[in-house]
Amino acid sequence: MATQHSRSAARLMMAPAVVLLLGWMLVPLIMTLMFSFKKYLPLRGGDLGWVGFENYVRFVSSSAFWPSVVATLTIVGGVLLITVVFGVLLAILLNQPMWGQGVVRILVIAPFFVMPTVSALVWKNMFMDPVNGLLAHLWKFFGATPIEWLSQASLPSIVMIVSWQWLPFATLILLTAIQSLDSEQLEAAEMDGAPPLKRFGYITLPHLGRAITVVVLIQTIFLLAVFAEIFVTTGGAFGTRTLTYLIFQRVLESQNVGLGSAGGVYAIILANIVAIFLMRAVGKNLDA
């Protein structure tokens, strides 16, 4: 089917997207690379000349660096785990016959429509506040001491907020996948006396493999860049400073663009390591 003619037409049609994205990637990337080798301080007159690898050394030797990598991976890993596990369970539940399925589905996907800033503000002020928050009232109602969420359980709190936002996305994709599952196969297995857990393990889960891959891949891209949720809730305190947040602090709070750019290069490296790891682990499923 692929004639020479259609091949070149195909290249032509791919060109706009590829060229645009190439530009969108290369221009900032080259500028980031350039700034990372410079002493660039906007509040002290801007470009103060080349400094070699000084920014790279300084960024990585700062006591904040490794904790920020760990915090990033914890948030990404934690959110992925929660959204995939609960997403699968929710998708199975929502696929069962029930009354008002449409309405329930709407309720479940609603958090996905909320701006990250808004959801962070709502969670922080109205739920996690240790005195006036609803969770504190709930704890007191049961006679327990309220948890100081954002200081004593800071990372879990952020994982919780972000999971709340992304659970709908995972559920949606997994639900679509489950709906395409051949119900006769399941019923046959049930007839044969296979217990529910076995049916889940041998039929449902393998069927969901591709969908889970997609969820993991797309979410990872967005989770590596989580920012508003941290900016609004803890401001990077209590061990919640991710690599993205650390770069923000260097560029905007300390106004050290060179140092921040070096951090940006590290972030790209980290993202690519995560990407390669993901591709190895789940890429075969993609079948692109």
Residues in 112-151 at the binding interface with other proteins, rule: CB under 8 A = 112-119, 121-123, 125-127, 129-132, 134, 137, 145-146, 148, 150-151
- Interaction between residue 281 and other proteins (CB under 8 A): no
Classify 39 as helix, strand or coil. Answer: strand
Q: Which residue has the tokens 């500028």?
A: 31
Q: What span, in angstroms and rounded, lies between the C-alpha atoms of 110 and 67?
A: 33
- Interaction between residue 2 and other proteins (CB under 8 A): yes
Q: What span, in angstroms and rounded, lies between the C-alpha atoms of 33 and 29?
A: 6
Least Å distance between CB 118 and other proteins?
5
Least Å distance between CB 269 and other proteins?
10
Least Å distance between CB 201 and other proteins?
19
Q: Euclidean distance between the first and final Cα of the chain, in Å? A: 18
State which of residues 79, 80, 84, 108 lies at the interface with other proteins (CB under 8 A): 108
- Interaction between residue 236 and other proteins (CB under 8 A): yes
User: What are the phi and psi torsion angles at 205 (to 5°)?
Assistant: -60, -50
The interface with other proteins within residues 244-263 (CB under 8 A) comprises: 244, 247-257, 259-261, 263
Contact range with other proteins by CB under 8 A, out of 22-30, 76-84, 194-202: 22-30
Least Å distance between CB 123 and other proteins?
7
Long-range contacts formed by 6-14: CB under 8 A, 24+ apart: none
Classify 164 as helix, strand or coil. Answer: helix
- Interaction between residue 189 and other proteins (CB under 8 A): no
Instruction: Calculate the CA dihedral of residues 218, 176, 81, 134 and round it to 10 degrees.
Output: 100
- Interaction between residue 106 and other proteins (CB under 8 A): yes
- Which H helix or E strand runs over 43? none
Least Å distance between CB 114 and other proteins?
5
- Interaction between residue 185 and other proteins (CB under 8 A): no
Provide the phi-psi class of 35: left if phi over 0, else alpha when psi is between -120 and 50, else beta: alpha
State which of residues 76, 211, 216, 230 lies at the interface with other proteins (CB under 8 A): 211
State which of residues 14, 81, 85, 205 lies at the interface with other proteins (CB under 8 A): 14
- Interaction between residue 279 and other proteins (CB under 8 A): yes
Closest CB to other proteins among residues 80, 94 = 94
Instruction: Retrieve residue 243's tokens.
Output: 């690599």
Report DSSP state, residue 269: H
Q: For residue 142, give the amino acid letter.
A: F
